[in-house]
Structure 1
Amino acid sequence: MPLIIPFAGLRPGAEHAAEVAAPPYDVMSASEARAMVQGRPASFLHISRAEVDLPEGTDPYAEAVYAKARENLERLRAEGILRQDPSPRYYVYRLSLGEHRQTGLVAAASVEAYRAGRIRRHELTRPAKEQDRVRQISALNAQTGPVFLAYRAAAAIDKRLQAVSERPPALDISAPDGIRHQLWSIDDGDEIAAFGQAVEALERLYIADGHHRAAAAARVAETRRNADAGGPSGERTRNGDRIHSEDSDHFLAVLFAHDQLRILPYNRVVRDLNGLTPQDFLERVAEAYRVEPSTQPVAPTARGEVGLYLAGRWSRLSLAPERIPANDPIGRLDVSLLHEQLIAPLLDIHDPRRDERIDFVGGSRGLAGLSTRVDSGEMAAAFSLPATRMDDLLAVADADALMPPKSTWFEPKLADGLVSHLFD
């Protein structure tokens, strides 16, 4: 099966795109999502975060949320705000933020290639979040959030993307966060074939962001393949869900060249100090790190450096070089070093995927996003990290290994709602 195929996307017309486009579902709190949809009945958050249309305090994993998401999707289609293209195609998607620009290809990526390791992951998923995406895809009979894929830069693809992006775009909007989103539609048969051949020549693709979406898509595909449907592909089961089809064997994705991507730090906050006082904790930290008080927030860039915000003060932590493994692609990651040298031994947090005592703060929140949560009393301490390097991500994935959870924060983020992948 080829790595990617074209598909007939569901998308807003140019007149509705700015109103529909929304940040990814998982980069905001419930209260932030509710604020974002005020006065915006066509916002895609009504689908990706449908709890905004239910009473405050509604469990975001409640069955009513998924039912409301499906209702809202059907409403936007009935109103003509979202319309499906008449034929399968690829799309070119450009993100611009300040001086940064990246241009990628929107396609339906192969679940089979994901299972076989030709589409490589680098992180495990959190069970609750993966199950949430399974239920969302199943309820909508669609994938509405793209998986962010990277490929090692290839001239055959990049030149074609550049050529398409010199034409007038179908969509061109600037979001409130300053990100410009542009979209082009590729419906010419020869051009579609040329893009498919260029991507198929790649050895592999890499998941940059969207591990939960990819894993959920694979589970949905397997469930539909194994369902006792009692009829040919595409018919409906007695409960109304579509059974296996080629659509469900693929997932919505955007492919970018690795050298265009921008990674920000993915920082950590912890709820308690595992029974230690701040002074005792600092003394224990000093057994592995050189601790230097700082009058300014610490944004480390060197491997082995960490910023610590504790009891209203910043410190710069520097790990002794002999503690940094030189030839271990996972062990040398800054997120790994922090976990193995400090978080696990001192705080007794061994499974950050499941332990509720640790949380993760994307780099777009800035260092104030760390200190605010500590100063409020919600958290006991915060750690700022250097950004993971793209070369490190590729090395881990090529080794068929896994990074610790929440190792990378890619910025700018893809918008939800500009193109969705339907199963019908």
Structure 2
Amino acid sequence: MTSTDGLRLLPFRGLRYAPDRVSSLTAVTSPPYDVVVRPEGVRHLETADPYNIVRLILPHAADPTTRHRQAAETLHHWRTEGVLRQDPEPALYVYEQRSGEVLQRGLIGALRLDGPVLPHEDVIPEVVADRAALMRAAAANFEPLLLSYRGRNGAGGATAVIERVVADDPLLATTTEDGFTHRLWAVTDPADLATIDDDLSRRQALIADGHHRWATYQRLYEQQPGATAASPWASGLVLLVDTARHPLQVRAIHRVLPHLPLATALADVAGAFRARALPGGLSAALTALEETPGTAFVLAGGRDSFHLLDRPDPELLDRTIRRDRPEAWRRLDATVLHSALLDEVWRIPDHPSDISYLHHAEAAVEHAARNGGTAVLMRATSEETVRQLAECGVTMPRKSTSFGPKPATGLVLRTLEDPHH
């Protein structure tokens, strides 16, 4: 598909839960599919309400083909029964998330795939193939991915429309288990849509969360015989957030090495890194990590065993880190961890059975303690660093950082077979 100069966010007829057919909106929503990875998480959502969205995004059956057909059939039944209803006219949707001091507002729409969208992480082909098969079977985009862009200074353009719309009553409002309040409004006025289109036509976007879904949209378009730029498959469901107005929250993603005992990990790094035992608990360890200049990690073997790694051997870095990348990439903690420690010092393959990726430090430490392994606690990379590398066309090591807050799944869906997509 030929690239365009700016972003084109297209209105669509949203598919939304009928409030009178479900116990509550809270009970039918879910975090994004890749956050609900543990079976107990799926079971918890399934039992919250028989119509919980997890039955569409993570159907479980003996084989993939059955799973994908099951999701398609479930979607068809829910639409036939009136559990999910399509809005009467195409709209862009203003979406607000709020919790304490955190306020995020953006626009949900169908983004043309030929616009300037920058990835910053590689994807796993098997995951893209599975998500593509699911979306193709269901002919639907179940959940928006999260994109950030830099809007104009001041409050004109799309921002002005958003700020005016949120003064009205929302289509829906709900509070999820994590304490976030979610509100949604439809923008259908032609003048407002034209203002948004004009503003976004000058922007480029960074994928904050959802690399696999974006690659899936592209795969689906390529596989549609005779698909044109006007096809519903030529765009995908996204949430666009102006981070000049609403900066994203950036968090680290920690690693757990279940088969590497802490004593072995420390013995192996002798001479390669400086290692120091840290007094105190997890909070003190994370504070020490944030305050350490240069490359640094915390290794944890349990709730009261923390060691700080820093000052890597320059010769080790010179030998293990590829030279054909910008200096900012070569200095990333995740680059050093994977190139020098995991690949060279510990020789741990990047397989799910050998490395787990967890978003919460407490959970990582608990997981390591339970398995007799080692948790590697990380620091977050700034959004600015991520954006600069993405603009250079450089992808970061997988699971380098986590952007949020992520949109809740289940508030608005998009069908792909409807002529008014």
Q: Same fold judged by TM-score > 0.5? A: yes
Specify the SS of the correspondent of 1:225: coil
Specify the SS of the correspondent of 2:224: helix
Structure 1 residue 340 and structure 2 residue 334: aligned?
no
- Does structure 2 retain, via aligned residues, the 8 Å contact 1:268–1:361? yes
Partner of 2:255: 268
C-alpha distance in 1 between matches for 2:143 and 2:15: 12
C-alpha distance in 2 between matches for 1:18 and 1:355: 31
Partner of 1:361: 358
Specify the SS of the correspondent of 1:195: helix
Counterpart among 68, 90, 93 of residue 92 in structure 2: 90
C-alpha distance in 2 between matches for 1:403 and 1:360: 15
Counterpart among 408, 411, 415 of residue 422 in structure 1: 415
- Does structure 1 retain, via aligned residues, the 8 Å contact 2:11–2:90? yes
- Does structure 2 retain, via aligned residues, the 8 Å contact 1:108–1:252? yes
Letter of the 1:180 partner, please give it. Answer: T
- Does structure 2 retain, via aligned residues, the 8 Å contact 1:14–1:172? no
Structure 1 residue 33 and structure 2 residue 27: aligned?
no
Change (3 A) 1:321 1:96: farther
C-alpha distance in 2 between matches for 1:306 and 1:27: 24
Output the TM-score relative to the length of structure 2: 0.86
Question: Relative to structure 2, which stretch is displaced further, 154-163 or 179-188?
Answer: 154-163
Specify the SS of the correspondent of 2:396: coil
Change (3 A) 1:76 1:208: same
Q: How far did residue 369 of structure 1 move?
A: 0.7
Specify the SS of the correspondent of 1:150: strand
Partner of 2:123: 125
Structure 1 residue 255 and structure 2 residue 260: aligned?
no
Counterpart among 70, 88, 96 of residue 72 in structure 2: 70
C-alpha distance in 2 between matches for 1:24 and 1:398: 26
Partner of 1:175: 176
Q: How far did residue 337 of structure 1 move?
A: 2.0
- Does structure 2 retain, via aligned residues, the 8 Å contact 1:92–1:186? yes
Partner of 2:368: 374
Change (3 A) 1:225 1:396: farther
Partner of 2:141: 143
Change (3 A) 1:278 1:44: closer
Letter of the 2:220 partner, please give it. Answer: V
Partner of 1:241: none
- Does structure 1 retain, via aligned residues, the 8 Å contact 2:296–2:309? yes
Letter of the 1:12 partner, please give it. Answer: Y
- Structure 1 unmatched runs, 5+: 52-57, 228-232, 234-243
Structure 1 residue 201 and structure 2 residue 196: aligned?
no
* Two-structure CA RMSD over aligned residues (Å): 2.4
C-alpha distance in 2 between matches for 1:370 and 1:343: 17
C-alpha distance in 1 between matches for 2:353 and 2:75: 33
Partner of 1:284: 268
Counterpart among 27, 36, 42 of residue 19 in structure 1: 27
Change (3 A) 1:417 1:280: closer
Structure 1 residue 222 and structure 2 residue 210: aligned?
no
C-alpha distance in 1 between matches for 2:341 and 2:175: 41
C-alpha distance in 2 between matches for 1:134 and 1:147: 14
C-alpha distance in 1 between matches for 2:105 and 2:17: 20
Partner of 1:319: 311
Counterpart among 41, 57, 72 of residue 48 in structure 1: 57
- Does structure 1 retain, via aligned residues, the 8 Å contact 2:15–2:414? yes
Q: How far did residue 154 of structure 1 move?
A: 2.6
Specify the SS of the correspondent of 1:287: coil
Letter of the 2:311 partner, please give it. Answer: L
Q: How far did residue 22 of structure 1 move?
A: 1.5
Output the TM-score relative to the length of structure 1: 0.85
Structure 1 residue 401 and structure 2 residue 367: aligned?
no
C-alpha distance in 2 between matches for 1:164 and 1:217: 29
Letter of the 1:261 partner, please give it. Answer: L
- Structure 2 unmatched runs, 5+: none
Q: How far did residue 226 of structure 1 move?
A: 5.3
Identity %: 27
Letter of the 1:246 partner, please give it. Answer: S
Aligned residues between the structures: 388
Q: How far did residue 82 of structure 1 move?
A: 1.3
C-alpha distance in 1 between matches for 2:124 and 2:345: 23
Specify the SS of the correspondent of 1:282: helix
Q: How far did residue 416 of structure 1 move?
A: 1.0
Q: How far did residue 332 of structure 1 move?
A: 2.1
C-alpha distance in 2 between matches for 1:14 and 1:167: 19
Change (3 A) 1:110 1:190: same
Give 1:147-158 correspondences, 5 Å limit. 147-155=145-153, 156-158=157-159
Specify the SS of the correspondent of 2:330: coil
- Does structure 1 retain, via aligned residues, the 8 Å contact 2:32–2:407? yes
Q: Deviations over 1:59-108 (max 9, x none)?
A: 5x522111111121112212222111222210011111221111011111
